[in-house]
Structure 1
Amino acid sequence: MSAPSTAAVVAEAALPDGGRLRILRVDASRASDVVPIVHAAFAARPPVEPPAAALADTVDTIAEKLDGGFGVVGELDGEPAAALIVELDGDDAVITRVAVHPDHQHRGIANALVGCTMDLLALRGTRWLTVGVRTEFPALGRWWRRHGFVPTGEQPPLEILRRTLPVMAEAATADAMRALGERLATVLRAGDVIIATGDLGAGKTTLTQGIGAGLNIAGPVISPTFVLSRVHPAVAGGPALVHVDAYRLGSFDELEDLDLEASLPDSVTLIEWGGGIAEGLADDRLEIDIRRGLDPEDETRLVFLSGLGARWADGQLEELR
């Protein structure tokens, strides 16, 4: 008799084409759902030598990998369409399989699975995430680089890429959010770029107020929705705070019209609603995603802080947990 299936819905995501994706965290009992997705995805790639090990996966080998970590499965209309497996080793995690069925590729599903996996690892307190990519597929390597992974070496036939994972902090009240911003300000310096995302009312401006207080800048920090950007000079010789609201902007070109490049080296630049628009300002940046919990009566916010690039490679965000 097989073990009962253990699967928990961890997210639902709207795909760019309008489809609805349900993402589940799964254990070894769902290995039989994962195997056909892996086989179909890897069989659709151009042949390589030696062949991809994933083509030889069985229910038993996939179950063993899931026992060493966990998996996430993406379902469309109740049917498994994509899968990702991550193995755990202390502060490190390694993606050992990521596959989207050929019928559903190029729909943003891999983006959703990787993002969900990083969230789960951040909640666990894992620090590093590693993936190996076949060198014959440079486009895959570029895809992982766009997600903040950087090359660390080769283990032929694989290129090894790695990134730090988001640090997750909780803020139960608006005062706690401001206090988190003040603590964050202690590790900020001139030249830093911060992209803050979150639903309306999530607390982006409240966090920015805390950052402003920690930087000891002049003037009250309020959302610059209509003026688009405000410059708050430092009172005591530190970096200025440039506060931008990109809600009404539709592209990076419109952001460039604000001429932020002139002030970047001497300021901390924070862009609210900047996801998908402001990433071109700097390869080294801090991305902050603020989310409400599932209980609408609970004001607690989960704050995910992702430091990208060499500027944030030394783990200085860890103290903000």
Structure 2
Amino acid sequence: MRLADEGAMMALGAKLAGVLRAGDVVTLSGPLGAGKTTLARGLLAALGLEGEAPSPSYAIVQSYAPPEVRLPVLHVDLYRIEDEAELYELGLDDARHDGALLVEWPERVGEYWFRDALRLTLSVGQDGARGLTVEVPAAWEGRWPLT
């Protein structure tokens, strides 16, 4: 899939919000500046977040809960994670029971952490457009592709 600009990234995030459920995990991979956080911002805005969502790069986890959004979401950035054991301290497994996880840089930890995730991988084209590659797990069948 080709995403021509930031507006297309935000629109994809909004469509994703329309099918997101408690227990879902969406991973966002790609190089720095590919648009991972932009896509997450589009999703969060469609869930009801007013204002701009900060990047979780330094906080590692940014949480959102009703009434701020219609569904609890943890926006996680694993770029600074150096040891997988740190994930236990973040309580990500517990958070999945009530809400959804958006995880940037999932490749920093083992694949078993997010094996049932909808995996979105962004690339940057020479023209600045983004390419999107998607791996769809069984839990997302019937919800992807987005309409």
Q: TM-score, normalized by length of structure 2?
A: 0.89
For the aligned residue pairs, the C-alpha RMSD in angstroms reads: 1.9
Unmatched segments (≥5 aa) in structure 2: none
Cα distance in 1, alignment partners of residues 25 and 128 from structure 2? 27
Deviation of residue 313 (structure 1)?
2.8
Runs of 4+ in 1 over 6 A off after TM superposition: none
Q: Give a deviation string over 1:127-174, Cα, whole Å, max 9, x none.
A: xxxxxxxxxxxxxxxxxxxxxxxxxxxxxxxxxxxxxxxxxx221111
Structure 1: gaps spanning 5 or more residues: 1-168
Give the corresponding residue for 2:135: 306
Which has the higher Rg, Structure 1 or Structure 2?
Answer: 1
- Determine the structure 1 residue equivalent to 2:20: 188
Report the CA distance shift for 1:249/1:276 in structure 2 as closer, same or farther (over 3 A). Answer: closer
Identity of aligned residues (%): 35
Q: Deviations over 1:80-101 (max 9, x none)?
A: xxxxxxxxxxxxxxxxxxxxxx
Greater RCO structure (CA 8 Å; 6+ sep)? 2
Which secondary structure does the structure 2 equivalent of 1:280 belong to?
helix
Closer/same/farther in 2, CA of residues 229 and 219 from structure 1, 3 Å limit: farther
Matched residue type, 1:265: H
Q: Distance in 2 between matches of 1:230 and 1:277?
A: 19
1:16 aligns with: none
What is the rounded CA distance, in whole Å, between the counterparts of 2:70 and 2:110 in structure 1?
24
Q: How many equivalent residue pairs?
A: 147
SS at match of 1:217: coil
Mapping of residues 249-268 of structure 1, within 5 Å: 249-268=81-100
Correspondence list, 1:171-186, <5 A: 171-186=3-18
Distance 2:110 2:36 in 1: 16
Partner of 2:146 in structure 1?
Answer: 319
Instruction: Give the aligned residue type for 2:130.
Output: R
| Distance in 1 between residues matched to 2:99 and 2:86, nearest whole Å | 20
Report deviation, 1:281.
3.2
Q: Which structure 2 residues correspond to residues 121-140 of structure 1 after superposition, within 5 A?
A: none
- 3-state SS, counterpart of residue 225 of structure 1: coil
AA aligned to 1:227 is: A
Please give the TM-score of this superposition, normalised by the length of structure 1: 0.43
**Is 1:240 matched with 2:72?**
yes
Match of 2:46 in 1: 214
Distance change in 2, residues 1:272/1:237 (3 Å): closer
For residues 226 and 276 of structure 1, the distance between their equivalents in structure 2, rounded to whole angstroms, comes to: 15
Q: Name 2:58's counterpart in structure 1.
A: 226
SS in 2 for 1:270: strand
Sort the Cα spacing of 1:280 and 1:202 in 2 relative to 1 into closer, same or farther, 3 A: same
Query: Relative to 1, partners in 2 of residues 1:202 and 1:236: Cα closer, same or farther, differing over 3 Å?
Result: closer
More strand by share: 1
For residues 88 and 102 of structure 2, the distance between their equivalents in structure 1, rounded to whole angstroms, comes to 14
Q: CA deviation at 1:178?
A: 0.6
What is the DSSP-based 3-state SS (H/G/I as helix, E as strand, rest coil) of the residue aligned with 1:247? coil
